Structure 1
Amino acid sequence: MKNKLHSGDSLPFLESLPAALVDALITDPPYASGGLHIGSKNRSTSDKYQNGGTARKYPEFTGDHRDQRTHLRWMTLWLAECLRVMKDGAPICLFTDWRQLPLTTDALQIAGFTWRGIAVWDKGEGVRPQMGRYRNQAEYIVWGSKGQMPNERDVGVLRGVYKEVVKQKDKFHVTGKPTDLMRDLIKICKPGGLILDPFAGSGSTLVAAQMEGYHWLGCELSEEYKAIAIERLAQLKGHS
């Protein structure tokens, strides 16, 4: 059960997996942070996150409309299943933004993980400038492990801050993460291990895993984004 991208909702997918299967979980779930009230939260994801005036349009994605209470409950549900399917000592990395940073650290711990820190993704100074305010140029990776995390995993010292700008030629999702960022980030997994991403989106985690010699397992609800991910993975095989 490796190097497969499944279709559908993440929770039934996770429930179908056997226990103690994967060596790391690295994912970028919906943040549910775009908007301060229910009306703005229910706007389309392209309206909330498409910025910079680019003419390129990306498919919509679901699950980004929840309020704080329902988002915490939802996070806890699927994270508890992730705990079950991960091996003892396996690392977990969750992307989030400043609005949902406290909630994400809570959800990680409620689900039973040990919270170990926060890494920073510096997106560069060209992101969302606002006069008289600090730039929102960073997103965060909340990370931890399933229980004790042994140092003897043949993994070196990893960076705490990753500076990587978003390049349009490498952007396949409205909230997509750069491939080079993911190639660095996934190195927290033991060499050759199986990396799980239950919110695969356009496949950046899976592509990075393939490029760096890891095995991978993913799930994506959007058929449009799944097709993009499959195409990206196929292109890798075509160049290998």
Structure 2
Amino acid sequence: MQKQIIGNATLYCGDVLEVLPTLTPGFDAVITDPPYSSGGLHKGQRAAAPSEKYTGNNNYAEFSGDNRDQRSWAFWCSHWLGMTTRLVRPGAYFMIFSDWRQLPTLTDAIQAGGVLWRGLIVWDKTLSSRAPHTGYFRHQAEYVVWGSLGKLDQCQHGGPFPGVIVERVNPAEKLHMTAKPVRVMEQLMKPLAPGAHVLDPFMGSASTAIPVLARGDSFTGIELSQHYFDIACARIEKAVAEQAQV
């Protein structure tokens, strides 16, 4: 396990199931984008490399953990989600990304992990999203399954917040094959009170961290891949340095 502290960010390179037990409780939110293990209905399709399933090219480094079958993925999600519920304060937010294939499974897993499921946030990727072929409806949306650890107090600084976030993917901004736009992550931060501490167990290239740190809040991220951990560290170092100059 590798640990690095950069400003208000504490970053770990390691397996989420090994890192989570070492963390100190007190987080205000879990916002994350785990591997979907999607991209196919059958074993052979699911076992394909992420680049084959999601992009059709190898412009980005591959990532692991995306080849579980439906039952093992559900068990794995409920396991790590259950571990995070012991790390967050009562009323903490949970926001977990999913595609359409894994949406039913994730809504079960988040409840099995001990989270009170409260709804869905739709991320509309606009008509710029790719379509399989002309006979299909466009796969234009991904989803955020959201909930809380028990009772959710009224927000003192705004809301209700939009349940649909419209933001196209700009390939020029992506540092990870399945990276979410920073502007999408900014929208998810809105219910959080100032001074929040956000946990992202699947940090990737740190798209969650950038708006958290821009708010002056604290971030803890975990990433299995050394390649993407190094990218996240460099990205956060740059963001922290730029913020210090403002």
TM-score in terms of structure 2 length: 0.92
Q: Percent identity?
A: 43
Higher strand share: 2
Which of 26, 32, 51 does residue 31 from structure 2 map onto? 26
Instruction: Please give the alpha-carbon distance, in whole angstroms, between the structure 2 residues aligned to 1:183 and 1:213.
Output: 13
SS of structure 1 residue aligned to 2:199: strand
- Stretches of structure 2 lacking an aligned partner (at least 5 in a row): none
Once the two structures are TM-superposed, the CA of residue 77 in structure 1 deviates from its matched residue by: 0.6
- CA gap of 1:88–1:155, structure 2 versus 1, over 3 A, is farther
| 1:147 equivalent in structure 2 | 150
Q: For residues 156 and 214 of structure 1, do their structure 2 counterparts lie closer, same or farther at Cα, with a shift above 3 Å needed?
A: farther
Provide Cα deviations, 1:150-171, integer angstroms capped at 9, x if missing partner: 0044343211000111112211
Q: Return the match for 1:68 from 67, 70, 81.
A: 70
Matches within 5 A, 1:1-240: 3-19=9-25, 21-51=26-56, 57-129=59-131, 130-240=133-243
SS of the counterpart of 2:45? Answer: helix
Aligned-CA RMSD value: 1.5
Q: Is the 8 A contact 1:183 1:212 kept in 2?
A: no
Question: Given that residues 10 and 219 in structure 2 are in contact (C-alpha distance below 8 angstroms), is that contact kept between their aligned partners in structure 1?
Answer: yes
Q: Structure 1 CA distance, aligned partners of 2:134 and 2:55?
A: 20
- Distance (whole Å) between structure 2 residues aligned to residue 27 and residue 188 of structure 1: 16
Q: Is the CA contact (8 Å cut-off) linking 1:154 and 1:191 kept in structure 2?
A: no
1:126 CA drift (Å): 2.0
CA distance in 2, matches of 1:163, 1:65: 29
Q: What whole-Å deviation, never above 9, does each CA across 1:181-218 have from its counterpart, x for those lacking one?
A: 11111222222200000000011001121122221101
1:144 partner amino acid: G
Q: Which amino acid aligns with 1:216?
A: F
Given residue 175 of structure 1, which amino acid in structure 2 is its aligned partner? T
- 3-state DSSP of counterpart to 1:82: helix
Does the residue aligned with 1:23 lie in a helix, a strand or coil? strand
Alignment CA distance shift 1:74-1:112 (3 Å): same
Larger CA deviation: 227-236 vs 21-30: 227-236
Q: Deviations over 1:116-153 (max 9, x none)?
A: 00000001112122312211010000000000010044
After TM superposition, the score normalised by the length of structure 1 is 0.94
Q: Partners in 2 of 1:231 and 1:62 — Cα distance? A: 21
Aligned residues: 236
- Distance between the aligned counterparts of 2:180 and 2:136, measured in 1? 24
* One-letter identity of the residue aligned with 1:22: F
Aligned residue type for 1:143? W
Structure 1's consecutive aligned runs of 4 or more residues displaced over 4 angstroms after TM superposition are none
**Secondary structure class of the residue paired with 1:87:** strand
Q: Which has the higher mean CA deviation after the structures are superposed, 148-157 or 72-81?
A: 148-157
